[in-house]
Amino acid sequence: MATGAPPAARVPLRVWLVLAVGLATFGSSAILVRYASDAPGLTVAVWRTGLAAVLVAPLALAKARPALRALSRRDLALIGAAGVLLGLHFIGYIESLYHTSVASSSVLVTTSPLFIAALGYVFLRERLAARTIVAIGTAVLGAALIGLADAQAGAFPRAGFGNALALLAALLFSGYLLIGRAVRQRADFLAYLLPVYGVAALTCLVAAWGRGVPLVQPLPILGLCLLMALGPQLLGHGSFNYAVRYLPAALLGLLSLIEPVVASLLALVLFGEAPPALAVVGMVAVLASIAVVFVRRA
């Protein structure tokens, strides 16, 4: 257990309640995107990230103005890079849901811990434990099973493309987390969050302009994007930022694996998306592999 964190038995009830809300909102992300799919994926990404930045701005400007001014040029450059990666992550993740099932996308996009381990080995020369190597290999096999099952099922003609986008989104999110971890050693949370959300929104906006997608949408679509910004992006991430004071990061990582399970169950109930048996085997393999990585850190 992380140093300074109280035993789970002594964690206040409010922490578990906040986490429950956060996990529920995480699981709703893919569902909200599916409901908003009358709009182009890029348009949804623009409004989701833009509204999140707008919602954070008043609090950040009120509480963290001195910290914002104190950011160095190096920190601003790193935050800019992290924001670009985050924006591209949302583009890839949201677009993946237009081509593959909620279950496949939600499971594959959670593989960022495995990408982080692999990137640490490649760029930081961090040693990989044998169990981590096995976990990565098992996850690759699981992802292949998901892709094979989706291709055989035929429910989503471009499932392979959607699955590839979900994996790319996980890779981009890994880069965002690695940069953010370095910057957050020095920068205030809100002073980091506002510019990184702003750059992410700008990245999505530039991509939308480049593709010529329409940004003007009816109120129901905008309402769904607002729910994405409030729920998964602010309440979801916010709940984990709140709980990390009381619970180890490794335990929170394990709890985050509930997200694709919740999303898959909701998709089954709401849209009748039942993954093939082979895909379920692959999903279990992927989630178990990620769990092994988090348990190793505990």
pLDDT tens per residue across span 145-204 = 999 999 888 889 899 999 999 999 999 999 998 888 888 888 888 899 999 999 999 999
- Answer positive or negative: Cα dihedral of 244, 249, 251, 253: positive
d(CA 133, CA 241): 29
Are 187 and 64 spatial neighbours (Cβ–Cβ below 8 Å)? no
The residue-averaged pLDDT of 22-26 equals 86
- Cα 238 → chain centroid: 13
Residue 267: inside a domain: yes
The residue-averaged pLDDT of 56-82 equals 94
pLDDT tens, position by position, 217-245: 999 999 999 999 999 999 988 788 778 67
From 112, 100, 95, 110, select the one nearest 204 (Cα to Cα): 95
In angstroms, the first-to-last Cα distance of the chain is 6
| Segments forming the whole domain that contains residue 91 | 9-112+148-275
pTM of the model: 0.90
Give the least confident one: 21-30, 34-43, 54-63: 21-30
- Higher-pLDDT residue of 194, 10: 194
Residue 1: inside a domain: no
Q: How many helices (H) and strands (E) does the chain have?
A: 14, 0
pLDDT of residue 9: 52
Residue 287: inside a domain: no
d(CA 109, CA 166): 5
Residue 228: inside a domain: yes
Instruction: Count how many domains the chain has.
Output: 1
Residue 4: inside a domain: no
Q: How many C-beta atoms lie closer than 10 Å to residue 206's C-beta?
A: 13
pLDDT tops 80 at residue 6: no
d(CA 35, CA 209): 23
Q: How many C-beta atoms lie closer than 10 Å to residue 96's C-beta?
A: 29
Q: What is the DSSP track for 74-131?
A: HHHHHHHHHHHHHHHHHHHHHHHTTTS-HHHHHHHTT-HHHHHHHHHHHHH-PPPPHH
Cα atoms found within 13 Å of the Cα of residue 227, Cβ hemisphere only = 19
Residue 138: inside a domain: no
The residue-averaged pLDDT of 16-41 equals 91
d(CA 209, CA 81): 20
pLDDT tops 50 at residue 1: no
- What confidence category does residue 249 fall into, taking pLDDT thresholds of 50, 70 and 90? low
- Higher-pLDDT residue of 3, 53: 53
Q: How many C-beta atoms lie closer than 10 Å to residue 122's C-beta?
A: 8
pLDDT of residue 297: 56
Question: Any idea which residue has 């020095």 for tokens?
Answer: 186
Buried residues in 240-272 as b, exposed as e (16+ CB within 10 A): beebeebbbebbbbbbbbbbbbbbbebbeeeee
Structure tokens at 75: 């920190």
Question: Any idea which residue has 């429910």 for tokens?
Answer: 155
Residue 251: inside a domain: yes
Distances (CA, A) of 28 to 90, 93, 148, 249, 295: 15, 14, 26, 22, 26
Share of the chain above pLDDT 70, in %: 95
